[in-house]
Structure 1
């Protein structure tokens, strides 16, 4: 028989702590995206390289990142590297795992974006005296990022949600970690995790709406 009594006041009183955890969540997600974008661009270029070893490294990264659970990738960063004498704390291990995952997905996204840029753009740039690197940096990359902007937004939201996996490697400073600590002390599971879910939803919606505003400003012409 349902006899659970809700007590929302303690959970609401803990909201400042949970908001501090939300800030850590955002820090991890943003860092993982910044690093993941940089690695993803390199991997996308490597996939199109004429050198087989570069293509092999990039393809292996993408295959592992996209076809194994993110949970396993975080475990490998925390426990697996520890077996090899490389000890990462919970924050860094979570960041490494999410970055690895982001880079793999973004590499495929960027590869599609690169294919969407007509080759004539590069030839035109070279005919105007641009070097290969400058043509890629100034002509190809802006068009590629425009083509993949919305998929990147989805990946950012996914990165935010993936930070919740930090609790399995002992991270207790992000939103899920703080919520779990509060739950252990009070056993008010429904109240705390309901509020945490609302905070995740709000963060994801802010990112999505912010991205729409940026896209409208940058790509309205």
Structure 2
């Protein structure tokens, strides 16, 4: 018989672990957006050697499991003298992974902008960087928000893989308490509820951003 009273005394620890999960996710999303934006700008530029490197990066990240990438960062880098804490390794792996997907999302947003806008701005004497910063990127970001939101929610859920590199986020904390109390269903259902709460919060914030941007466009 299920007994959720066992979970009650551990709620503060589970909430603390949830905050760590949120911290990992937000930092990884921020890193992924910066990396993705840099990657797509290089890919659309005339810097062919760098564009080839970016193409390889996107191809490799999208074609390999996130778990393998996380293990490469946490267990692999120490072989070449680079040791990262579980937290830094998790944020790095998740951020690098997200960057590849954000790059493709932003590229699709940029490509969707009519070419006439770029040509008109060039005819007015605006420089390419200025056009991208003031005209193209704001529109591309607005168009890309739904896809960025979906990827961000996926990233939040994938942060549970950080438990495999000994980071005490929500999944690992739930698993430890479940094993100690032999109450696997109770603790895993509680963890699922907390993940659902966090993804719902992400969805709410992203929809609010989408509405605000659509209103400003009008």
Q: TM-score, normalised by structure 1?
A: 0.93
SS at match of 1:130: coil
Query: Which residue in 1 is equivalent to 2:98?
Result: 102
Post-superposition CA distance 1:69-107 (Å, at most 9, x none): 000010001001011110011111111111111001111
CA contact 2:31–2:96 (8 Å) conserved in 1: no
Q: Residue 65 in 1 paired to residue 57 in 2? A: no
Query: Which residue in 2 is equivalent to 1:181?
Result: 176
Query: Which residue in 1 is equivalent to 2:197?
Result: 202
- For structure 1, the 5+ residue unaligned runs are none
Residue 56 of structure 1, aligned match among 52, 55, 62: 52
Post-superposition CA distance 1:129-185 (Å, at most 9, x none): 43221211111110110110100000110110011001111111x111221221232
Residue 9 of structure 1, aligned match among 5, 12, 24: 5
> 2 CA distance for matches of 1:101 and 1:187?
35
RMSD of the alignment, in Å? 1.3
Residue 213 of structure 2, aligned match among 194, 214, 218: 218
Query: Which residue in 1 is equivalent to 2:166?
Result: 170
Query: Which residue in 2 is equivalent to 1:153?
Result: 149
Alignment of 1:117-132 (within 5 A): 117-132=113-128
> 2 CA distance for matches of 1:156 and 1:210?
11
**Alpha-carbon shift at residue 187 of structure 1 (Å):** 2.0
SS at match of 1:148: helix
What is the aligned residue count? Answer: 216
Q: Residue 92 in 1 paired to residue 112 in 2? A: no
- For structure 2, the 5+ residue unaligned runs are none
**Alpha-carbon shift at residue 127 of structure 1 (Å):** 3.4
Q: Residue 41 in 1 paired to residue 37 in 2? A: yes
Alignment of 1:22-37 (within 5 A): 22-37=18-33
Runs of 4 or more, structure 1, over 6 Å off, are none
